[in-house]
Amino acid sequence: MHDKLVDAGKPGDRVEVTGIYRAMSVRIGPSQRTVKSLFKTYIDCLHLKKTDKSRMQAEDPMEMENGSTRNEEDTPLDYEDKVEQLRELSKQPDIYDRLTRSLAPNIWELDDVKKGLLCQLFGGNALKLPSGASFRGDINILLVGDPGTSKSQLLQYIHKLSPRGIYTSGRGSSAVGLTAYVTKDPETGETVLESGALVLSDRGICCIDEFDKMSDNARSMLHEVMEQQTVSIAKAGIIASLNARTSVLACANPSGSRYNPRLSVIDNIHLPPTLLSRFDLIYLILDKADEKTDRRLAKHIVALHFENPESSQQDVLDLPTLTSYVSYARNHIHPQLSDEAAEELTRGYVEMRRRGNFPGSSKKVITATPRQIESLIRLSEALARIRFSEWVEKRDVMEAFRLLEVALQQSATDHSTGTIDMDLITTGVSASERMRRENLLSATRNIIMEKMQLGGSSSRMVELLEELKKQISGPEVHLSDLRNALATLASEGFIALHGDNVKRI
């Protein structure tokens, strides 16, 4: 490639190349004139055209049009007409709901999940401060749910829409395959840095299926990508930092095949809390038995096979219009927070934090963290982009709060108290559960101090359990709870455990 064609296509783009196929003789060595009997072939590129119109454009859409004016002179005029059409479309009062219906129309309901995915497609504004600090504008979403709840279908649909989207499965992904790896060039023998899935989907969406089955080594690579949006490499003498400004859309199945609502999200899918807290929205898609819902779902699936799907869907945007709408918004609309929206964000965040303070109690539950307010700003900006608005309004902030609370009520609700508890996502243990464990530990220590003497005879666990049940009111104490408390006391050097016998030391 020469002149203007250099860097016309980025890694991950689908292109159509016009050029001359040439053959070139290769010397045996750089200092020898003798040539090999085999020829090296290459294409001398004359013109490059981006294909795959069903995807959104990551860069300025006009770039593609200008590159193809030699062949299609009327394209820019069509694009101008389309801009007017998109502007008219954005003025419709129900554009938000209409776009939601247009996203994966063959998947029944799941409206709140689709609204979250729509916000991910539009994205927020990346912010870089003069001090050098930067805030990401990409939204990360995790879908957790029972088998057969169309999670992978949603992933495939978003992958088709997103610019430079890479689709990968957790089981078949290694750490270097996700980030970058060093190989040797077969011609020159030099070490070359090859991009992985996350770097290739720069400014796009990386879809990861079977997220729970990914190796720990590969998963640890996502920490830097999801917050700093870079991939740092120090291998084979190559030290580099690559851009990975990508949104991550991951999908996980619970470890026991079915989701257990009595356990936290972390216990269900065995993901580290540090990684889970980096997701802006965590949706639970559960398969609950309900006659009315089941009947409507069955009718919908049968209708897809029985009737013409196009005729059954009313008022839905076609795929080319949807991709044009999203790519135009991403490239031309950069909304800013209005004073009213900023006040509403502050008020709503303080209100979310206040919910954790129970009146007349010293018990405080963290119902929101600073990461949530960053998520809310990104969601509000995405919702303003949907309307082609240059300002984030109060209604955008209220809808962002609603979307976040829908996700949190599913994934971060402590079932013993019924309140949202962010500790469930950040540590895997709710505040009420932690307090219960502390009370159990202190009660066990008191019983051992009362009943047993230093260096005296040992007691059985069953006897201690009976004493505990007499003293502690509330939820029933199980033997497994007592074992955990005794293991903590043993690690402190307070007691010694010999099978089921406990001895004070």
Residue showing tokens 């007349």? 360
Is residue 217 within 8 A of residue 270, CB to CB? The reply is: no
- Amino acid (one-letter) located at 190: E
pLDDT the model gives residue 474: 65
238-293 pLDDT, tens digit per residue, is 888 888 888 888 888 887 777 777 777 777 777 777 888 888 888 888 777 667 77
- Give a yes or no: residue 147 inside a domain: yes
Based on the domain organization, do 419 and 436 belong to the same domain?
A: no
455-475 pLDDT, tens digit per residue, is 667 777 777 777 777 777 666
Here the CATH number for the domain that contains residue 133 is 3.40.50.300
Give the end of a domain, one of 409, 426, 443. 426
Based on the domain organization, do 200 and 245 belong to the same domain?
A: yes
What angle do the packed helices 461-471 and 431-451 form, to 10 degrees?
110
484-500 pLDDT, tens digit per residue, is 788 777 777 777 777 77
Based on the domain organization, do 280 and 372 belong to the same domain?
A: no
- Give a yes or no: residue 119 inside a domain: no
Here the CATH number for the domain that contains residue 394 is 1.10.8
Report, as an integer, the average pLDDT of 229-238: 81
Spatial separation of the C-alpha atoms in residues 127 and 136, rounded to whole Å: 7
Element (H, E) at 145: strand 141-145
Based on the domain organization, do 420 and 443 belong to the same domain?
A: no
Q: Would the pLDDT of 21 be above 90?
A: yes
The residue ranges of DSSP E strands in 237-388, in sequence order, are 238-243, 247-252, 281-285, 336-337
Based on the domain organization, do 347 and 288 belong to the same domain?
A: no
- Give a yes or no: residue 254 inside a domain: yes
pLDDT the model gives residue 92: 84
206-225 pLDDT, tens digit per residue, is 888 888 888 888 877 888 88
Give the end of a domain, one of 426, 458, 482. 426
- Give a yes or no: residue 72 inside a domain: no
Based on the domain organization, do 140 and 271 belong to the same domain?
A: yes
Report, as an integer, the average pLDDT of 37-48: 88
Based on the domain organization, do 456 and 406 belong to the same domain?
A: no
- Give a yes or no: residue 356 inside a domain: yes
Spatial separation of the C-alpha atoms in residues 193 and 195, rounded to whole Å: 7
Here the CATH number for the domain that contains residue 459 is 1.10.10.10
Spatial separation of the C-alpha atoms in residues 318 and 321, rounded to whole Å: 6
Question: Domain containing 452: what range?
Answer: 431-504
* Of 31 and 73, the one with more pLDDT: 31
- Give a yes or no: residue 96 inside a domain: no
* Of 107 and 113, the one with more pLDDT: 113
Is residue 337 within 8 A of residue 389, CB to CB? The reply is: no
Report, as an integer, the average pLDDT of 46-61: 63
Q: Hey, is 37 helix, strand or coil? A: strand
* Of 188 and 91, the one with more pLDDT: 91
pLDDT the model gives residue 19: 93
Residue showing tokens 């082609």? 388
- In total, the chain counts a number of residues equal to 505
* Of 412 and 452, the one with more pLDDT: 452
- Separation of CA 419 from chain center: 24
Nearest one of 5, 49, 46, 4 to 22, comparing CA atoms = 46
- Give a yes or no: residue 399 inside a domain: yes
356-372 pLDDT, tens digit per residue, is 555 544 445 556 678 88
Based on the domain organization, do 354 and 259 belong to the same domain?
A: no
Based on the domain organization, do 278 and 409 belong to the same domain?
A: no
Based on the domain organization, do 407 and 436 belong to the same domain?
A: no
Pairing of strands 501-504, 35-50: unpaired
Number of domains present in the structure of the chain:
4
Based on the domain organization, do 441 and 422 belong to the same domain?
A: no
Give the end of a domain, one of 391, 426, 461. 426
Percent of the chain with pLDDT over 90: 2
- Going by pLDDT thresholds of 50, 70 and 90, the confidence category of residue 205 is confident
Based on the domain organization, do 233 and 373 belong to the same domain?
A: no
Report, as an integer, the average pLDDT of 77-103: 77
